[in-house]
Chain A
Amino acid sequence: DAGITQSPRHKVTETGTPVTLRCHQTENHRYMYWYRQDPGHGLRLIHYSYGVKDTDKGEVSDGYSVSRSKTEDFLLTLESATSSQTSVYFCAISAGTQNTEAFFGQGTRLTVV
């Protein structure tokens, strides 16, 4: 299995609180992605990174920010959590783009109450 660790694996938080999810990789891959998965929507891209300090928005980026200060870590922050952000969050990594597979972490289940 690719060396991807997501933390925490489960979290319950209150509405309005900030939350940070961490994705850590040991593969030295350039590209990292954050997705969320909700019933009826499949996996949707939140943010992605194409290098240290190089990030961009995905299709559902509102309410989320990211940071990548070093190759191995990609942080996803919910500035003020809302119930609509209750979801399962997946991190993915990839060495390249077209002809290189991307590997996914095991997910973080976040519940906002």
Chain B
Amino acid sequence: DAKTTQPTSMDCAEGRAANLPCNHSTISGNEYVYWYRQIHSQGPQYIIHGLKNNETNEMASLIITEDRKSSTLILPHATLRDTAVYYCIVRQTNAGGTSYGKLTFGQGTILTVHP
């Protein structure tokens, strides 16, 4: 499985952009990068995913480098409610013809948004 490396923690001022980096240097060509976040003890919440092109939705933007070895999740205007653990995940590809789609979670980045 492709492994990901994220900083343990980051801080961000409310209203500013939060840029969360992720390294995934062993990613395979057909593996997607997914981002989830977890607030307190709630279930992980899907944010965004991409393969090689940059992606944007109502929550965030995902920037993937051309070599696909790293990516950055951008929260354009962070609020206090964005304080959470953010997980960068490389989703497993097919194995033996059976697609599993398992998500392997690392430790994530604790993002703290300050007033």
Contact = CB atoms under 8 A, between A and B. Distances in A.
Contact of B105 (A44, A94, A98): A44
Q: How would you classify the secondary structure of chain B's contact residues: helix, strand, loop or mixed?
A: loop
B35 to A, nearest CB: 10
7 contacts: A43-B44, A45-B104, A48-B102, A92-B43, A92-B44, A98-B31, A100-B101
Interface residues of B, number: 28
Interface of A: 31, 33, 35, 42-45, 48, 50, 56, 58, 88, 90, 92, 94, 96-107, 109
B46 A31 contact: no
Nearest to B32: A98
Q: Is the interface of A mostly helix, strand, loop or mixed?
A: strand
B101 A90 contact: no
Interface in B72-115: 87, 91-94, 98-108
Interface of B: 30-32, 34, 41-46, 49, 51, 87, 91-94, 98-108
A96 B94 CA distance: 11
B98 A98 contact: no
A58 to B, nearest CB: 7
A43 B30 contact: no
Contact of A90 (B44, B98, B106): B44
A92 B101 CA distance: 11
Contacts of A94: 101
Nearest to B99: A97
Contacts of A50: 98-100
Contacts of B105: 35, 42-44
B11 to A, nearest CB: 21
Contacts of B102: 33, 45, 48, 58
